Amino acid sequence: MFSISSLLSVVAWIAACASAPAEKRATPTLWLVGDSTMALHAASEGIQGWGVEIVNYLQAINVVNSAVSGTSARSYARDGWFYNLIQKVQSGDYVIIEFGHNDGGGNVTASATADLVGESLTATQTVTLANGSVEVVHTYTYAGMIDQIVAKGATPIVSSQTPDDPYENSTTIVYEPSRSVAYVDHFTAAVSLFSKYTAAVVNSYYPLDQYLHTNTAGATQMAWAFLSGLRCASADGVLASYVNSAGEGAGARCSYP
């Protein structure tokens, strides 16, 4: 298992972004970092991300949804989204990082979003993108993000990806990485929640493509599942004091089946 202290010594790319912790805000901010399953969508799209709905269950904390459709951890960092976000993070804030839907494949040459597989803190692969630019892809994108968040005096929260429609696809994560920060198993919590419903009900949450993107009702369910994941031991009590009375009804969902 890696530790925050060991990551600080090897993630060189954080140097350009990191700065001393700023003074705490009167009200902390929860920053959401992720892909389309978390992001805000226009009503005309017919889909919605769970990050839009989570605000209905929180109190005494500001929520800024900085999720970007189509991104992976790799592209979110490479394209400057995380750099822009970390400049605004202050001491006492929280940052949820949830990717996965666009990160797979393992072939970093063929895909501009695929992550380099593994837990090495030094492995890299240099690739040339379609636009001709050269990118050094590495295995420690999450680690680099975590280090920068911690350097700001903020709290990182790593969350597993939301599941595809469990009545159409897999119901398990086949590989779960080691970690030493607050972790929400959003995937398992959502599958556990959806197992209570019929296939017809769950399918109604995925109207556009029937497997990945949820509508507003589905996004609300995903937000509720995230609250359930917060109640598990791996989350270490993070955000507990910011869950409002409406969100208190979400019971722990830490395993499936």
Place of tokens 């993630």: 11
For residue 166, name the pLDDT band (cuts at 50, 70, 90): confident
Work out how many domains the chain is built from and give that number.
Answer: 1
pLDDT of residue 117: 87
What CATH number corresponds to the domain at position 184?
Answer: 3.40.50.1110
Q: What is the mean pLDDT of the chain?
A: 89
Q: Which residues have C-beta within 8 Å of that of residue 120, sequence separation ≥ 6?
A: 139, 140
Place of tokens 């009200």: 27
For the stretch 20-34, pLDDT in tens is 566 778 999 999 999
pLDDT of residue 215: 97
DSSP string for 57-103: GB-SSEEEE---TT--HHHHHHTTHHHHHHTT--TT-EEEEE--TTT
Residue 256 within any structural domain of the chain: no
User: Which is catalytic among the residues 6, 19, 209, 255?
Assistant: 209
For residue 173, name the pLDDT band (cuts at 50, 70, 90): low
Residue 255 within any structural domain of the chain: no
For the stretch 68-90, pLDDT in tens is 999 999 999 999 999 999 999 99
Burial (CB < 10 A; 0-12, 13-18, 19+), residue 131, is exposed
State the residue range of the domain holding 89: 4-248
Residue 121 within any structural domain of the chain: yes
d(CA 127, CA 64): 33
For residue 257, name the pLDDT band (cuts at 50, 70, 90): confident
CA 101-118-19 angle, 5° bins:
80
Burial (CB < 10 A; 0-12, 13-18, 19+), residue 168, is middle
Strands 29-34 and 94-98: parallel
For residue 16, name the pLDDT band (cuts at 50, 70, 90): very low
pLDDT of residue 9: 33
Is 186 an active-site residue?
A: no
Residue 120 within any structural domain of the chain: yes
Place of tokens 């296939």: 199
Q: Do residues 145 and 152 make contact, with C-beta atoms less than 8 angstroms apart?
A: no
Is 241 an active-site residue?
A: no
Residue 70 within any structural domain of the chain: yes
CA atoms within 13 A on the CB side of 233: 1
User: What integer is the mean pLDDT of 153-174?
Assistant: 84
Is the pLDDT score of 145 beyond 80?
yes
Low-confidence winner among 59-68, 87-96, 125-134, 172-181 (lowest mean pLDDT): 172-181
For 121, the 3-state DSSP assignment is: coil
For residue 180, name the pLDDT band (cuts at 50, 70, 90): confident
Is the pLDDT score of 11 beyond 70?
no
Give the CA diameter of the chain: 52
Residue 257 within any structural domain of the chain: no
Q: Which residues have C-beta within 8 Å of that of residue 4, sequence separation ≥ 6?
A: 146, 147, 150, 180, 181
d(CA 146, CA 181): 9
User: Which is catalytic among the residues 66, 101, 213, 228?
Assistant: 213
Is 101 an active-site residue?
A: no
Residue 253 within any structural domain of the chain: no
Q: Which two tokens stand for residue 214?
A: 């949820």
User: Which is catalytic among the residues 36, 75, 159, 160?
Assistant: 36
Is the pLDDT score of 57 beyond 50?
yes
Amino acid type, 32: L
